[in-house]
Amino acid sequence: EAGVAQSPRYKIIEKRQSVAFWCNPISGHATLYWYQQILGQGPKLLIQFQNNGVVDDSQLPKDRFSAERLKGVDSTLKIQPAKLEDSAVYLCASSTAGNEAFFGQGTRLTVV
């Protein structure tokens, strides 16, 4: 069974530029999560989708971050404009309802 796919694996941008990350969840997983993990910390939830609806985006900095999950399958997360403090690993995960989540390899973002 194919796992969660994410791209790109690495991205370096200058502050104030924009960037987008892509995620394709495991087939059949209705729930999709985007987490931000800063070095030395646990993953912090940015947004959770159930099919193409948002379940929780309370910690998403909506002035600069946006996410969508068209057609309830793959998803994109965008940052515009990026700040230095956005440097982190962005992890996408998916699950079936109420079960454990499976993670992609993540996108390592460096903002300079």
Cα distance between residue 90 and residue 85, in whole Å? 13
- 63 part of the interface to other proteins, by CB under 8 A: no
Exposed/middle/buried for residue 39 (C-beta within 10 Å: 0-12, 13-18, 19+): exposed
Work out which of 67, 79, 104, 109 binds other proteins, going by CB under 8 A: 104
- 60 part of the interface to other proteins, by CB under 8 A: no
- 56 part of the interface to other proteins, by CB under 8 A: yes
- 22 part of the interface to other proteins, by CB under 8 A: no
Q: What angle do CA 36, 14, 20 make, to 5 degrees?
A: 45
Work out which of 55, 84, 96, 110 binds other proteins, going by CB under 8 A: 55
Q: Which residue has the tokens 């030395």?
A: 40
Using the minimum distance from each CB to other proteins, give the nearer residue, 48 or 79.
48
Least separation in angstroms between CB 7 and other proteins: 14
Work out which of 43, 69, 79, 82 binds other proteins, going by CB under 8 A: 43
Work out which of 88, 106, 109, 111 binds other proteins, going by CB under 8 A: 106
With contact defined as beta carbons under 8 Å apart, do 83 and 18 qualify?
no
Q: Which residue has the tokens 């069974």?
A: 1
Q: What's the length of the chain?
A: 112
